Amino acid sequence: MLSPIQVALGRHEDNPLSEMAKNLILWLIIAAVLLSIFQNFKGGAVPETITYTNFVDEVQAGQVRSVVVDGLVIEGERQSGARFRTVRPDVYDSGLMGDLLNHSVNVEGREPDKASFWQQLFLAAFPILLIVGIFMFFMRQMQGGMGGGRAGPMAFGKSKARLLSEDQIKTTFADVAGVDEAKEDVRELVEFLRDPSKFQTLGGRIPRGVLMSGPPGTGKTLLARAIAGEARVPFFSISGSDFVEMFVGVGASRVRDMFDQAKKQAPCIIFIDEIDAVGRTRGGGWGGGNDEREQTLNQLLVEMDGFEGNEGVIVIAASNRPDVLDKALLRPGRFDRQVFVGLPDIRGREQILKVHVRKVPVDERLNLSIVARGTPGFSGADLANLVNEAALFAARSNKRLVTMEEFEKARDKIMMGSERRSMVMSEEDKANTAYHEAGHAIIGRLMPEHDPVHKVTIIPRGRALGLTQFLPEEDQYSMSRRKLLGLVCSLFGGRIAEELIHGMEGVTTGASNDIERASQLVRAMVTKWGLTENLGPILYGEEETMGPVAGARNFSGATSQRIDEEVRRIIDECYARAKGLLEENIDILHAMKAALMEYETLDADQVGDLMARRKVRAPKEWHDADFDSGPGSKGEIRAAPGSVPIGGPVEGS
């Protein structure tokens, strides 16, 4: 039903009156402009303008042949043929006509101009039309702006979902890579939207809702667009935060309006990004007493599976936190299916890279499988960023093709930070950093099951003054106790190297991040993973509850003391083990420090030469073989998925 303002303006989705009114005003304005032009620009030469006194003198002298009197304006022609123009004073002059006739001047009168009916109508209606036009302009602004949007203060209850027609969506399953299992889960949605009768004849019912969950950047939104692109159906896109406003009832109204629009376009897809903004568990203390979010969630529940059905409308939602969603939202009949879109494996990363390098001129020697193996834990968004950074590096070097060298630089920048070569360090600081990084590298090479060393550098990156980078030879999904203890030992390698060279009094604050990571790792081994015999496989973590008792401990004070003692025991053992290894290989520590001072960066082959006590080979130009030099050449330490390389001394720590 139209509001009074919409009736007055004729502004409605299915009413063309608004468009007609705009066209009428436009033509009236054009007519006024043309009329003004015709009245002010007339053909013919411009006559000479003279004073009335000179005009009378010329008449009495017999120099005037004819005149045309048009009110107060007199235009005439002299005996010589020259034209003139004058304006008669607005006073009665009884002798003018006698002078003209006595001197044989041909006198012609002009009928006064009268405005036509349309001119009179336009002049009379113009003020009213101007007022109506201004009124319509401001009302359109209030109802959503000149662009016909729905964001004005009088459109709070209108849905903010953006509609993309089937012709606007170009994304297909060919543009989605690295999530083969997720694509298989949603492929039948495409078949249903294309041919619903195939399922309905057998009594089957397509899922009304699909929830996509997974880490950020894995391609949940891209996959939803691909479903719409493959099915060739309209696609409504909206964010969960677009439903919630400060006024109670607005979000519920927007949900109703969105589904009303979707029913008109059925079959179609509604995509709700970050649905946890509106779909959190009810009654958990969220909202601070304002039930707007819960009202919106209730309306969403009703629209998805309430009294009225929404046949042909499929809701796809994405969230990074499915654990906080309301149970009623996840039950069958609403979000029937949950699709996990996880981080890609090495094969998936290679497929994603192939998609992103389509529009990038790359060198024919580029081996994407090697790039994929060197980027464990990267999401699809990370890989897209990697390709872009590599292209930028190539552009800075004025290259026409992107090579493996640029991909190596781009990966180092993403994983370790940008180089800070402009940073001035004293020789003493550089030497201390070299010993620190050498300690990490040596312990990492000597620990069993430890990821191989890939690169050691004393070039500052980010906040770190140096870095030791490890990369796994294959994707890792779990870690053994032996591997975790080796990681703790390598984390302490930098601090121990400083202690062996400079003594306890010379140890710097650069190992603060290493100590923090080692402590967190050992505490997780004791309290979460059950990797200690003294405390056993019991969870001693804090309870993740909401409300005033959030973070309450589920163990006694005596157990807390035992946990601290066990953590201290494991750290002391790892520290002593790493220190003993460095003392046995002190010559390698000095040699690696000298090599770092000379070359600043050592690759896996150079580290291998030092560990074998051979002469360090000189750095060579990068090529494919350097990237894939076999065991011991690649790897990254990952205490948990998504961790970063071991850093060196941290600036300002």
Do the beta carbons of residue 234 and residue 269 sit within 8 Å?
yes
Q: What contacts 443, CB < 8 A, 6 or more positions away?
A: 489, 490, 492, 493, 496, 578, 581, 582
| The two three-digit tokens of residue 313, written as one number | 């409308």
Q: Which amino acid does the sequence have at 284? A: G
Is residue 437 annotated as part of the catalytic site, yes or no? yes
Do the beta carbons of residue 407 and residue 393 sit within 8 Å?
no
Q: What contacts 537, CB < 8 A, 6 or more positions away?
A: 530
Helix (H) or strand (E) holding 319, with range, is: strand 313-319
Which letter, b or e, does each residue of 458-487 get, where b requires 16 or more Cβ atoms within 10 Å of its Cβ? bbbbbebbbbbbbbbeebbeebeeebbbbb
DSSP 611: H
Q: Which of 437, 498, 499, 566 is catalytic?
A: 437
| Interatomic CA distance for residues 54 and 96, integer angstroms | 13
Lay out the sheet containing 467-470: strands in order across.
601-603, 453-457, 467-470, 646-647
Q: Is 21 helix (H, G, I), strand (E, B) or coil?
A: helix
Q: What is the DSSP string of 164-204?
A: E-TTT----GGG--S-HHHHHHHHHHHHHHH-THHHHTTT-
| Interatomic CA distance for residues 576 and 570, integer angstroms | 10
Following CA atoms 306, 310, 313, 314 in sequence, which dihedral angle do they give, to the nearest 10 degrees? Answer: 30
Give which of 528, 426, 423 is closest to 484, Cα–Cα.
528
| Count of Cβ atoms closer than 10 Å to residue 303 Cβ | 22
| Interatomic CA distance for residues 557 and 559, integer angstroms | 5
| Interatomic CA distance for residues 262 and 316, integer angstroms | 13
| The two three-digit tokens of residue 223, written as one number | 């996959």
| Interatomic CA distance for residues 176 and 196, integer angstroms | 24
Following CA atoms 238, 241, 246, 251 in sequence, which dihedral angle do they give, to the nearest 10 degrees? Answer: 40
State the catalytic residues: 437
